[in-house]
Amino acid sequence: MSDWKLDIGATVLDQGKVRFRVWAPMARNLSVRLISGSGTRDLPMERDERGYFSMMADNAWPGDLYFYLLENEIERPDPTSRFQPRGVHGPSQIIDPAEFQWDDDRWKGLSLKNYILYELHVGTFTEEGTFESVIPCLDYLKGLGITAMELMPVAQFPGSRNWGYDGVHPFAPQNSYGGVAGLKRLVNECHKKGIAVVLDVVYNHLGPEGNYLSSFGYYFTDKYRTPWGEAINFDGPYSDEVRRYFIDNALCWITEYHIDAIRIDAIHGIFDFSARHFLEDLGEAVHRQAERLSRKIYVIPESDLNDVRVINPRETGGYGLDAQWNDDFHHALHTLLTGEEKGYYRDFGKISHLEKTYREGFVYSGQYSEFRKRRHGSSSKEREAHQFIVFSQNHDQVGNRLTGDRLSQTQSFEKLKLAAGVVLLSPYIPLLFMGEEYGEAASFQYFVSHSDESLIEAVRKGRREEFASFQWEGEVPDPQAETIFLNSKINRGLHLQGRHHTHFRFYQELIRLRKGVPPLGHLNKKDLDVRGFEEERLLYVRRWYGAEQIFCLYNFNETLTSFQLSHPHPIPPEGEGKREGDRVRVGLSLSMGKWIRIIDSASPEWDGPGSLSGDIIESGPLGISLQIHPHSFVVYRMEVS
């Protein structure tokens, strides 16, 4: 059983009794304005020495609405509101967490090593854009091979369309998505299907509209700046209560909503120079609660700092978080596929970058970054493979492009398959972005639905400035336009049509191989040999587990390439290649024996130009000779007698 309960906000006690408690050190007088079927009552609250106001209300029930009344005149929603049925500016609603009947008692979570993530935006994943409308799609995700669904932020935001990063009520699921009951039903059904649920949370800022926290307490600080608004006060005066507020938020999601992992947005925007970082406290609290609940629960931050301390164990001075998104992997892959070199992509573009991220995790581990004009990152070489989330696309890397274009809109089918192989057959935790698996034709663009004209114009201006470093040509789409939101909705039915269906089957097969071939499912950077060949734009990967082993050859070249895998002794030093005519001859630690092809992206089965190498090849004294099509990959598995 859980020893933790949310003790701020509106807490339902006995029949007809509700306790209200709020941290408001800036207020002198505070009351609850209770709105029910029997009328409106103003109920005075008492203050304690820490600045918490509280009171016990009789004849108050779940479903009743309320505001806090500041200084006897200013109505404000509850900072810890569990539900905002009328939006960010409206009254909060009393919610009894015990009302929902869960039937996922047998669910204990999944090992992080078994996560295959699928990131989705609730508003654009289905035509209805609600939590409950996702439920009928769970069999589709299960059939694809997904084991974990990651929801973009669902905390109450202004209007009915938003990415979620403008949330202002961290404890309240979005009303237009279906609110408390809808989210709980979705999580409950996911668990019954064996799918874990990851929730994206935002602890670096709050949105600009409907953000009333500063009316109550010292939640923000002007010591630091973020690109998105006021920085949260994690290390200044009164920060103890602020830290507790956000830790309680994480505990609320995992306890009251049975969430399996939280993905923390952009922790480089969380500023804390105290002796013990907020993220360390947060991770420890979540892991402690996981033990109490007897469930596997994880904390997965997003960061562009390449700071290994985030995922280092606490006993070695790290924050002890479970895994993190690895943007370096994306950038290394994206630049090889597209040739882009503007903005942060200028730091990438070589096979050696992809080789290093395959071997270590971070590409930038202390060397100079041309984009940042300074040294960047720390080494992740010693961290476990399952501590890195990798992807070829996600909401940021698609939606923060000028037109929100996906790889499927700009790259060839062969390149799309190549990208899928690099991600899904990597030794890391793969993440797919909704629609990627069948080559979705719709863009995913940035959208908002603010009500203040000056704010709307500020958002437009901010988007124009954000794109400046990439020097993209064209008009910046209007984030406020409803058409931008509607055009971002995906059409999942495409997965049954033509090449989209082939694309979908290809993803299914890669996931099946990842789950079924031990060296591919064994996430260990030590049981891996990876070599990149710059001139030929080839990446060779060999992985093993026990007596089983596979090798993958990824070709990023524009032309057909001949390749000979030899044994180490003929060509010192190991791994370096030399050209013999039109063939690259390479000395690698490849075992002698019979190798069976398990997938070739160029196969006619996957609408490719045709396999160039045999289904079965023998590795003798001279090694193995292969030919490989442009922008394709092949995987062979050694026959074990």
425 close to 636: Cβ distance less than 8 angstroms: no
pLDDT in tens, 459-490: 877 777 776 766 667 778 888 999 999 999 99
* Residue 220 within any structural domain of the chain: no
In this prediction, residue 103 carries a pLDDT of 96
210 close to 170: Cβ distance less than 8 angstroms: no
Which amino acid belongs to residue 612? L
pLDDT interval class at 633 (50, 70, 90) = very high
In this prediction, residue 453 carries a pLDDT of 84
| Residue 576: domain span | 527-638
Q: Catalytic: 265?
A: yes
- Residues 171 and 90 both lie in one domain: no
Mean pLDDT value across residues 551-569: 84
- Residues 423 and 563 both lie in one domain: no
**Whole-angstrom distance, CA of residue 601 vs CA of residue 613:** 12
**Whole-angstrom distance, CA of residue 407 vs CA of residue 111:** 30
**Whole-angstrom distance, CA of residue 299 vs CA of residue 323:** 7
349 dihedral zone (left: phi>0; alpha: psi -120 to 50; beta): left
Strands (E) in 467-612, as ranges, are 528-533, 538-545, 548-555, 561-566, 577-580, 583-587, 593-600
**Whole-angstrom distance, CA of residue 483 vs CA of residue 479:** 9
pLDDT in tens, 33-57: 999 988 999 999 999 999 999 999 9
551 close to 584: Cβ distance less than 8 angstroms: no
In this prediction, residue 589 carries a pLDDT of 63
**Whole-angstrom distance, CA of residue 170 vs CA of residue 82:** 9
Number of domains in the chain: 3
In this prediction, residue 625 carries a pLDDT of 86
Tally of CB atoms within 10 A around 156:
31
- Residues 432 and 579 both lie in one domain: no
140 close to 120: Cβ distance less than 8 angstroms: no
- Residues 531 and 424 both lie in one domain: no
Extract the tokens encoding 9. Answer: 């906000």
- Residues 430 and 481 both lie in one domain: yes
| pLDDT surpassing 90 at residue 266 | yes
Given the residues 230, 260, 302, 437, select the one marked as catalytic. Answer: 302
- Residues 94 and 135 both lie in one domain: no
371 close to 380: Cβ distance less than 8 angstroms: no
Q: End of a domain among 42, 65, 99?
A: 99
* Residue 264 within any structural domain of the chain: no
- Residues 493 and 620 both lie in one domain: no
Which of 8-22, 81-95, 564-578, 605-619 is predicted with the least confidence, judged by mean pLDDT? 564-578
**Whole-angstrom distance, CA of residue 183 vs CA of residue 123:** 13
584 close to 608: Cβ distance less than 8 angstroms: no
Cα angle: 113, vertex 280, 166; to 5 degrees: 85
CATH code of the domain in which 583 resides: 2.60.40.1180
* Residue 252 within any structural domain of the chain: no
Which of 278-287, 382-391, 468-477 is predicted with the least confidence, judged by mean pLDDT? 468-477
Report whether the peptide linkage leading into residue 301 is cis, meaning its omega lies within 30 degrees of zero: no
Which amino acid belongs to residue 500? H
Q: Catalytic: 440?
A: no
Q: End of a domain among 455, 480, 512?
A: 512
Extract the tokens encoding 138. Answer: 């769970």
- Residues 487 and 367 both lie in one domain: yes
pLDDT in tens, 100-157: 999 999 999 999 999 999 999 999 999 999 999 999 999 999 999 999 999 999 999 9
Residues in a beta bridge with 139 = none
Extract the tokens encoding 357. Answer: 């991220």
Tally of CB atoms within 10 A around 498:
10
The b/e string for 254-290 (b: 16+ C-beta within 10 A; e otherwise) is: bbbbbbbbbbbbbbebbbbeeeebbbbbbbbbbbebb
Given the residues 265, 281, 328, 360, select the one marked as catalytic. Answer: 265
Q: End of a domain among 512, 546, 572?
A: 512
**Whole-angstrom distance, CA of residue 233 vs CA of residue 150:** 27
* Residue 624 within any structural domain of the chain: yes
**Whole-angstrom distance, CA of residue 169 vs CA of residue 539:** 46
64 close to 83: Cβ distance less than 8 angstroms: no
In this prediction, residue 586 carries a pLDDT of 54
Residues in a beta bridge with 149 = 118, 197
CATH code of the domain in which 503 resides: 3.20.20.80
- Residues 117 and 156 both lie in one domain: yes
pLDDT in tens, 334-346: 999 999 999 999 9
Q: What is the mean pLDDT of the chain?
A: 93
- Residues 150 and 66 both lie in one domain: no
Question: Using DSSP, how many helices (H) and how many strands (E) does the chain show?
Answer: 15, 33
- Residues 187 and 302 both lie in one domain: yes
Extract the tokens encoding 194. Answer: 């064996």
- Residues 541 and 498 both lie in one domain: no
Extract the tokens encoding 508. Answer: 């299914």
pLDDT interval class at 414 (50, 70, 90) = very high
* Residue 53 within any structural domain of the chain: yes
In this prediction, residue 580 carries a pLDDT of 53
pLDDT in tens, 568-626: 533 333 444 455 555 555 556 677 789 999 999 999 999 999 999 889 998 877 778 89
In this prediction, residue 469 carries a pLDDT of 66
* Residue 256 within any structural domain of the chain: no
- Comparing CA positions, the residue from 356, 515, 359, 499 lying closest to residue 425 is 515
Which amino acid belongs to residue 513? L
**Whole-angstrom distance, CA of residue 618 vs CA of residue 620:** 6
* Residue 395 within any structural domain of the chain: yes
In this prediction, residue 181 carries a pLDDT of 98
* Residue 422 within any structural domain of the chain: yes
| pLDDT surpassing 90 at residue 32 | yes
CATH code of the domain in which 82 resides: 2.60.40.10
